[in-house]
Structure 1
């Protein structure tokens, strides 16, 4: 939607009415304490109060959203273009700090031209203290959700407008650091169309979704439904509730047969696991830093009574699609940070024929991204479960593997290279791939014997023939493993995780 169209955007009161459950909003605003203002600025403030019916450019308070109590900070654009000066910054900081003290998730709905020019550098510096308050809120393990409204630019976009655990935007919203009028005044030409529009930011992996205001309560409600369900130890433990998959042992077929089964085009992938196995899943989008690689899927999800951050390989939908690139692993590291900050377990899902082999992948730092992913996972300060779902070829598979517990589909596998590649290196021919697969110990039987795999999910005899039932069994195994880790102190998890990988094969 072009931003030049005459579209009426909701003011603060209308947005609150649209998002907060009726009759539940309670204002936290104290009277605005403005700095000493000269005659022109004092008149600007008086006109802004008269025009907007507000005493400042932000409204703060709390209310229920789909039954969840949430702190809210909403811009009033009609008050000096939603700009942030001393009084507005103080109000925002006070609201963030109160939300942190009361243990509340926080929803921010900025619509602002940025820093208030009439107050100069001190107003500009207020973005630092707002960011500090948001950082403390996130470090307390509390969700920070952002709904970017039209327009959000300048210092607001460059501080509290871009720091959400989840960032969504109004359709057609103008969003960016640079105000188009400033660019035109400085350079004598218009800024290119379509660059700073919400839909373009979504396509670049900078925001998670583009959402109409009327759809926002459902999105927030789903996110908080997932985030509010903290892992519960023992919720699926005990003999009666333990999944039948705990008794499953490796398949008796050889490694090459398992590899063939894992490559069936109709084999269930991560998308189907979330569709058929998760009670809810809310996809996120991109790194938040201008990259969106289709090779990885990132989501909030709930399996029964256990919520988690999910990241995993998204099987290519076309045969000619590129393999997982370095951007995928940067997106994965976003997921790892979310797990740590939100104090949720991390679920990684491995299903890849191999990472991208290209000039772009090399110049994008693929090897370094694999290393950094391993570094983050082995030291992740959250419980973690990895799932070998299908193919597990090369460094792209290894990059998502380290975890406290590893579940394997019966015909999944893990190898330094696809067996054909290993055969080409050793024998200068791919015809010895079956023998290489057996010799290298790539299948679940070998991985289980060597102590990597902790839990096996049966396929009866091929998951592609029973996708829904297989996904349901895998989901129960995931729920169980998340539950077993729930109350183990992080320090113990870190020590046992490091010990597990140090002692593999002993």
Structure 2
């Protein structure tokens, strides 16, 4: 919820100084070319220049952030409330296009009331060309990061302020489509408190985090180290990891029901622990960006050894009474799939679920359709992909994250159409035959490996819950190796091979 701490909101030059390495900023700005001006508007612009010390409502340029060259676009709110008219829009578009042509990641720091009213509809339409420039930048595979500052509303929030691969905000920032003064003037009452506040937007899954200005440089540096990994200076390539010992591991010599029991132990390491103990770095993202945040799924940027990826996977419930994975989880998952494709990064999916949610809300939210759309996206994903069977793998909720170029399995993971108890109830009208059903259905790693689904097995020695750190380290090395194995294959070849793999499972 809203911060109670009094925050001083930085001006554009102050934010630039706080983020870029000392003395590294170089301005890209040229004198603005204003449209035809009325005398009153000319006076407004002159006063804005005098008051703000800036010649327009945005500053652009390039600087080093932790030694990495980054393009920046930062609003100056004291210049006519950071509003965007023709000259400001031209400056933004020129900066975005230059960042794209020079192959630079882009950091935007908007703080704006939106369209400049003195210029009317032509200024309003400039949001379209700014959005077009941002789209071209993203489609070039270049990171676009947004730091929403206080306040950001109107056309800016509804265009380039909401299009980041990562969107974070300063504490307590007012963020929304309709400014509260406009709402009050139109409706004769105040807008509800604490709705258009950064912390509330985070809670609703609309932004990825709330970050103090002094912490922004570190966040940007970490994000870019994952999104745009540096290459070795000598060779120009990322070092390929050595083959891990797990390539020689074979299925555990136990029956399916034994593996299922091991996979359900409360202390079994989950995706959170895999990222904590196995990843070199991980930055969690938050929600769909469309007002949904389902605790059943975790989305993150991560690096395993030398290999960066987008991670999405099941988050084991922290309480026994927690709901299963709902449709919002899979809409968040599709955000991760889009990020992987756009940023040319591999996608890592992690399967560990006792089953999707069974509820009125899940049905009315379109769970079945979301599973179908997830399968559709993954089988045709235009990015390398690796899936991990980490623990339980029950039903459509598990299948929705499975299709990938390579699949790694923990020795006691499993995959089945339903939990074995459910399958037993359907066939025998009792759950008593669950162990026999599990074995007969071929749900365990031995059967999945024999059928050609599983490519790589990670040993548990003999139960991952007894050695969580060591198990996660082995799994991380396997993940790094498999990410590297698919990284340099042309996407068209990957998609075709992926389709054939699943087409041929179980024979012709």
**Normalising by the residue count of structure 2, what TM-score does the alignment of the two structures yield?**
0.98
Match of residue 252 from structure 1: 253
Q: Are the counterparts in 1 of residues 422 and 431 from structure 2 also a CA contact under 8 Å? A: yes
Q: Distance in 2 between matches of 1:9 and 1:385?
A: 43
| Residue 31 (str. 1) matches residue 31 (str. 2) | yes
Q: Are the counterparts in 1 of residues 171 and 211 from structure 2 also a CA contact under 8 Å? A: yes
Q: Distance in 1 between matches of 2:453 and 2:5?
A: 58
**CA distance change for structure 1 residues 301 and 334 in 2, over 3 Å: closer, same or farther?**
same
- TM superposition shift of 1:161: 0.1
Q: Distance in 1 between matches of 2:5 and 2:421?
A: 56
Q: Are the counterparts in 1 of residues 420 and 434 from structure 2 also a CA contact under 8 Å? A: yes
What does the per-residue CA deviation read over 1:305-333, in whole Å, with 9 as the maximum and x for residues that have no partner?
10000000000000000000000000000
Tell me the SS of whatever aligns to 1:302.
strand
Q: Distance in 2 between matches of 1:324 and 1:54?
A: 50
Q: Distance in 2 between matches of 1:2 and 1:78?
A: 23
Q: Distance in 2 between matches of 1:197 and 1:160?
A: 18
- TM superposition shift of 1:66: 1.0
- TM superposition shift of 1:235: 3.7
- TM superposition shift of 1:416: 0.3
| Residue 14 (str. 1) matches residue 1 (str. 2) | no
Q: Distance in 1 between matches of 2:298 and 2:447?
A: 28
Q: Are the counterparts in 1 of residues 143 and 228 from structure 2 also a CA contact under 8 Å? A: no
- TM superposition shift of 1:225: 1.1
Q: Distance in 2 between matches of 1:68 and 1:5?
A: 32
Q: Are the counterparts in 2 of residues 292 and 328 from structure 1 also a CA contact under 8 Å? A: yes
Q: Are the counterparts in 2 of residues 233 and 486 from structure 1 also a CA contact under 8 Å? A: no
**CA distance change for structure 1 residues 499 and 66 in 2, over 3 Å: closer, same or farther?**
same
Match of residue 491 from structure 1: 492
Q: Distance in 2 between matches of 1:498 and 1:186?
A: 55
Match of residue 197 from structure 2: 197
**Greater than 2 Å deviation, 4+ residue runs:** 1-8, 230-237
Q: Are the counterparts in 2 of residues 384 and 404 from structure 1 also a CA contact under 8 Å? A: yes
- TM superposition shift of 1:234: 8.4
Q: Distance in 1 between matches of 2:432 and 2:5?
A: 62
- TM superposition shift of 1:233: 8.1
Match of residue 312 from structure 1: 313
Q: Are the counterparts in 2 of residues 390 and 412 from structure 1 also a CA contact under 8 Å? A: yes
Tell me the SS of whatever aligns to 1:397.
helix
Tell me the SS of whatever aligns to 2:349.
strand
Q: Are the counterparts in 2 of residues 233 and 484 from structure 1 also a CA contact under 8 Å? A: no
Q: Distance in 2 between matches of 1:234 and 1:199?
A: 38
Q: Are the counterparts in 2 of residues 407 and 453 from structure 1 also a CA contact under 8 Å? A: yes
- TM superposition shift of 1:4: 10
Q: Mind listing any 5+ residue stretches in structure 2 that lack a counterpart?
A: none
Match of residue 45 from structure 1: 45
Tell me the SS of whatever aligns to 1:408.
strand
- TM superposition shift of 1:505: 1.6
Tell me the SS of whatever aligns to 2:398.
helix
Q: Distance in 2 between matches of 1:110 and 1:475?
A: 38
Q: Distance in 2 between matches of 1:168 and 1:8?
A: 17
Match of residue 277 from structure 2: 276
Q: Distance in 2 between matches of 1:276 and 1:459?
A: 15
| Residue 456 (str. 1) matches residue 432 (str. 2) | no
Match of residue 130 from structure 1: 130
Q: Distance in 1 between matches of 2:264 and 2:506?
A: 27
| Residue 188 (str. 1) matches residue 193 (str. 2) | no
Matches within 5 A, 1:434-445: 434-445=435-446
Tell me the SS of whatever aligns to 1:176.
coil
Match of residue 89 from structure 1: 89
**Matched residue count:** 503
Matches within 5 A, 1:337-356: 337-356=338-357
Q: Distance in 2 between matches of 1:258 and 1:235?
A: 36
Match of residue 79 from structure 1: 79
- TM superposition shift of 1:236: 3.7
Match of residue 266 from structure 2: 265
What does the per-residue CA deviation read over 1:84-131, in whole Å, with 9 as the maximum and x for residues that have no partner?
000000000000000000000000000000000000000000000000
Match of residue 213 from structure 1: 213
Matches within 5 A, 1:219-258: 219-229=219-229, 235-236=239-240, 241-258=242-259
Matches within 5 A, 1:372-383: 372-383=373-384
**CA distance change for structure 1 residues 76 and 418 in 2, over 3 Å: closer, same or farther?**
same
Tell me the SS of whatever aligns to 2:290.
coil
| Residue 390 (str. 1) matches residue 398 (str. 2) | no
| Residue 298 (str. 1) matches residue 299 (str. 2) | yes
Q: Distance in 2 between matches of 1:212 and 1:428?
A: 57
What does the per-residue CA deviation read over 1:218-247, in whole Å, with 9 as the maximum and x for residues that have no partner?
10010011122279988445xxx2100000
- TM superposition shift of 1:6: 6.3
Q: Distance in 2 between matches of 1:357 and 1:281?
A: 31
More displaced 10-residue stretch of structure 1: 228-237 or 397-406: 228-237
Q: Distance in 2 between matches of 1:385 and 1:5?
A: 43
Tell me the SS of whatever aligns to 1:337.
helix
What does the per-residue CA deviation read over 1:378-410, in whole Å, with 9 as the maximum and x for residues that have no partner?
000000000000000000000000000000000
Match of residue 69 from structure 1: 69
Q: Distance in 1 between matches of 2:405 and 2:329?
A: 22
Q: Distance in 1 between matches of 2:156 and 2:177?
A: 8
Tell me the SS of whatever aligns to 1:286.
coil
Q: What's the RMSD between the two structures over aligned residues? A: 1.3
Tell me the SS of whatever aligns to 2:215.
helix
- TM superposition shift of 1:59: 0.1
What does the per-residue CA deviation read over 1:160-192, in whole Å, with 9 as the maximum and x for residues that have no partner?
000000000000000000010000000100000
Q: Distance in 2 between matches of 1:45 and 1:57?
A: 10
Q: Distance in 2 between matches of 1:501 and 1:322?
A: 30
